[in-house]
């Protein structure tokens, strides 16, 4: 009770002294979580407020992630760096695909590799001007390292061009729709960026591909930032490490309808709140009123062991969920409250709401790792294969197969002997044969390009298939 009272007094005092810091009565303000530029820091701060509210103002500019006060940082660091007991598995994602997106002038956010030469982030990370929503004309780099200040030249990749979601451009531009500037709140804060060279020997993070996240699911959140305790917002030493933690999805808004926009531009959002050990800061719980486009709902007030919040600099970073044993990126950090205190809210742009828009920019085999040499590729669930021209590929075990435009975790494949079959990450080496109209099982250990051993469920018998070359 004392903590709540002190916090309420502190927030009210900020409002009276520095009106620009005023938050919604439930401490919710659609402030962006990004832009960190050390060159602009001093002139941005109000001199009068600086001495009194250094902590609060730094929170609007300095990168940070908040954790439970009682928890140490060791586990958050280990999780963020795939160390110790947090090795990639069904329990924990591979966060090696999460990196820093940084410009020459010092602007910084977080991004995730979703194809060997393509990353996803939030639109406001690269440009948030209402008058010109295109990216700044600067050199940007994507740095794939657990510590971006210690990154080697081989871990740094130059960005060739940005693709900002068109609805973000429309809503942020002063000349259209009266400069609404609400692209974040309507769930269209989204940007793709192509890299000048492909990332080798790394599996990109899978996209939702129709596998939607639900309220109550555990999520993993990752980003780079200063360490902050959730009770009082005390900022610990700065760091350049990738940190990670967990939370529970409290809101899933699949579609935000805007009458002035075509439905192809409608967005969606996900949201979490930062529960306290005292279970008294559950601001997305059913006892609280609707918040902007987030609506109402329920929320478990019990924090997870590695419960975290996000703030400035985590923008564009991923929220990950596990579906059928595979971790997928379901959203990118867009906005929320930014003090990293218990009760703070983080809102993510929901990627499943924009899957069609993203797909048009995805290269073939976007989920495949490019092996050293740059020719062979490998899918975790499918194995190694060599792509050729016009849709033909040679698999190390299956031999020749054809597929038209393979993206995501499933595709139709044509084999010279068995015809068309459906190949899907969740069930492979089970395949559905369109020609036979039934499922069969491929014994991969006993099969090679010249001879397959399959189990045909229609006749409940094993069968040897030859001449698949």
| Residue 14: Cβ-neighbour burial (10 angstroms; 0-12, 13-18, 19+) | buried
Distance in angstroms (rounded) separating the CA atoms of residues 74 and 287:
35
Q: Kind and range of the H or E element at 48?
A: helix 47-52
Q: Which residue has the higher pLDDT, 200 or 132?
A: 200
- The pairing of strands 64-67 and 226-229 is parallel
Strands (E) in 71-212, as ranges, are 98-103, 108-115, 118-121, 140-143, 156-164, 191-195
Q: Compute the C-alpha angle 7/13/14, nearest 5°.
A: 90
Query: What is the residue whose two structure tokens read 């990353």?
Result: 119
| Residue 273: Cβ-neighbour burial (10 angstroms; 0-12, 13-18, 19+) | buried
Backbone angles phi, psi at 31, to 5 degrees: -90, 135
At 289 the pLDDT is 76
Mean pLDDT, residues 29-39: 38
Distance in angstroms (rounded) separating the CA atoms of residues 356 and 97:
22
DSSP state of 205: P
| Residue 174: Cβ-neighbour burial (10 angstroms; 0-12, 13-18, 19+) | middle
Mean pLDDT, residues 223-236: 74
CB 113 within 8 A of CB 93: no
Distance in angstroms (rounded) separating the CA atoms of residues 432 and 454:
12
Mean pLDDT, residues 242-251: 94
Mean pLDDT, residues 251-256: 94
At 225 the pLDDT is 66
Cβ-based neighbours of 466, under 8 Å, separated by 6 or more: 417, 450, 451, 452
Work out the number of other CB atoms within 10 angstroms of the CB of residue 149: 12
| Residue 456: Cβ-neighbour burial (10 angstroms; 0-12, 13-18, 19+) | middle
Question: Residue 314's closest CA among 121, 128, 129, 78?
Answer: 121
CB 133 within 8 A of CB 186: no
In the chain the first and final C-alpha atoms are separated, in Å, by 73
At 171 the pLDDT is 85
Q: Which residue has the higher pLDDT, 254 or 289?
A: 254
Mean pLDDT, residues 138-154: 90
Mean pLDDT, residues 200-215: 92
Q: Which residue has the higher pLDDT, 131 or 299?
A: 299
Distance in angstroms (rounded) separating the CA atoms of residues 441 and 233:
55
Backbone angles phi, psi at 322, to 5 degrees: -105, 125
- In the predicted model, is pLDDT for residue 384 greater than 50? yes
Distance in angstroms (rounded) separating the CA atoms of residues 26 and 341:
13
Q: Which of 122-136, 169-183, 348-362 has the lowest mean pLDDT?
A: 169-183
- In the predicted model, is pLDDT for residue 238 greater than 70? no
- In the predicted model, is pLDDT for residue 178 greater than 70? no
- In the predicted model, is pLDDT for residue 243 greater than 70? yes
Backbone angles phi, psi at 218, to 5 degrees: -75, 140
Express each pLDDT in 36-93 by its tens digit.
332 232 222 222 222 222 223 233 333 457 888 888 888 999 999 999 999 999 899 9
Distance in angstroms (rounded) separating the CA atoms of residues 370 and 211:
25
CB 165 within 8 A of CB 184: no
| Report for 65-74, 203-212, 460-469: range of highest mean pLDDT | 203-212
Q: Which residue has the higher pLDDT, 22 or 93?
A: 93
Express each pLDDT in 151-166 by its tens digit.
999 999 999 999 999 9
Round the average pLDDT of the chain to a whole number and report it.
81
Kindly report the pTM of this predicted structure: 0.85
Tokens of 400: 């020749």
Express each pLDDT in 308-340 by its tens digit.
988 767 889 999 999 988 999 999 999 887 677
Question: Residue 401's closest CA among 442, 445, 460?
Answer: 442
Distance in angstroms (rounded) separating the CA atoms of residues 420 and 205:
28
DSSP for 433-446 reads ETTTTEEEEE-STT
Mean pLDDT, residues 451-459: 91
Backbone angles phi, psi at 32, to 5 degrees: -65, 150
Backbone angles phi, psi at 47, to 5 degrees: -55, -40
Mean pLDDT, residues 378-391: 94
Tokens of 245: 């933690």
Q: Which residue has the higher pLDDT, 189 or 287?
A: 189
The domains of the chain, with CATH numbers, are 21-359 (2.40.10.120), 369-466 (no CATH)
At 70 the pLDDT is 87
- In the predicted model, is pLDDT for residue 4 greater than 60? no
């Amino acid at each position: 009770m004392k903590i709540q009272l002190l916090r309420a007094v502190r927030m009210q005092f900020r409002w009276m002294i520095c009106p620009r810091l005023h938050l919604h009565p439930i401490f919710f303000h659609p402030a962006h979580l990004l832009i960190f530029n050390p060159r602009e820091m001093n002139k941005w701060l109000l001199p009068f407020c600086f001495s009194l509210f250094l902590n609060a103002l730094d929170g609007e500019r300095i990168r940070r992630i908040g954790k439970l006060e009682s928890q140490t940082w060791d586990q958050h660091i280990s999780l963020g760096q795939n160390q110790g007991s947090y090795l990639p598995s069904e329990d924990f994602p591979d966060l090696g695909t999460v990196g820093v997106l940084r410009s020459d002038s010092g602007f910084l956010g977080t991004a995730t590799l979703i194809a060997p030469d393509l990353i996803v982030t939030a639109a406001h990370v690269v440009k948030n001007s209402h008058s010109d929503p295109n990216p700044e004309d600067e050199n940007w780099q994507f740095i794939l390292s657990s510590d971006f200040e210690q990154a080697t030249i081989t871990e740094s990749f130059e960005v060739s061009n940005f693709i900002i979601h068109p609805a973000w451009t429309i809503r942020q531009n002063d000349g259209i729709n009266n400069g609404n500037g609400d692209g974040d709140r309507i769930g269209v804060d989204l940007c793709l960026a192509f890299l000048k060279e492909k990332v080798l020997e790394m599996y990109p993070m899978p996209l939702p591909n129709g596998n939607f996240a639900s309220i109550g699911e555990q999520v993993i959140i990752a980003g780079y930032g200063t360490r902050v305790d959730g009770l009082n917002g005390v900022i610990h030493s700065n760091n350049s490490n990738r940190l990670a933690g967990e939370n529970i999805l409290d809101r899933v808004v699949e579609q935000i309808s805007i009458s002035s926009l075509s439905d192809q531009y409608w967005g969606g959002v996900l949201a979490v709140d930062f529960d306290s050990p005292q279970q008294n800061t559950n601001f997305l719980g059913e006892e609280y009123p609707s918040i902007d486009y987030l609506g109402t709902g329920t929320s478990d007030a019990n924090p997870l062991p590695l419960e975290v919040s996000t703030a400035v600099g985590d923008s564009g970073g991923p929220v990950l969920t596990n579906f059928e044993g595979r971790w997928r990126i379901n959203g990118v950090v867009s906005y929320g409250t930014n003090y990293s205190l218990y009760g703070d809210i983080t809102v993510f742009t929901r990627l499943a709401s924009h899957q069609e828009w993203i797909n048009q920019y995805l290269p073939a085999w976007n989920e495949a790792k490019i092996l050293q040499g740059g020719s062979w590729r490998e899918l975790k669930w499918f194995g190694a294969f060599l792509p050729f021209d016009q849709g033909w590929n040679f698999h190390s075990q299956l031999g020749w197969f054809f597929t038209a435009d393979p993206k995501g975790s499933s595709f139709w494949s044509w084999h010279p002997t068995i015809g068309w079959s459906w190949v899907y990450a969740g069930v492979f080496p089970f395949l559905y044969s369109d020609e036979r109209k039934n499922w069969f099982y491929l014994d991969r250990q006993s099969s090679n390009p010249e001879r397959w051993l399959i189990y045909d469920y229609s006749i409940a018998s094993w069968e040897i298939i030859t001449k698949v070359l």
